[in-house]
Amino acid sequence: MTNLRVARKVILSYWNRIAPNPFTSLTTLSFSLEKQDHVILKVSDCQGNEVARPVNKIMSTGHYDNEWNGSFLPAGIYTCILSVDGVMKDKKMVHI
């Protein structure tokens, strides 16, 4: 149980924000890394289908503001999933 708590604490520190949210076309997905690691950032629709994968690479320690264009998506609620070292955390975002 302790390992689960540690993993959850680490991944929670990665997500900073999604802004603007709601968004019309462009939004910025911001996160920070405490160490170099493999990062996957993906966007899923309300049915769980992956619609985009803005990031899938090894990234260095630091803060990242990833500007993402979701204008190709229909209006709706989406989930942005940040996966670092196999631990995932999600945030909802609304496309209007």
Digit-coded pLDDT (tens) for 40-63: 999 999 999 999 999 999 999 899
Give the model's pLDDT for residue 77.
97
Domain hosting 58: range is 2-95
What's the domain count of the chain? 1
Whole-model pTM: value is: 0.81
One DSSP character per residue, 42-54 reads EEE-TTS-EEEEE
CB 2 within 8 A of CB 48: no
CATH of the domain at 67: 2.60.40.1930
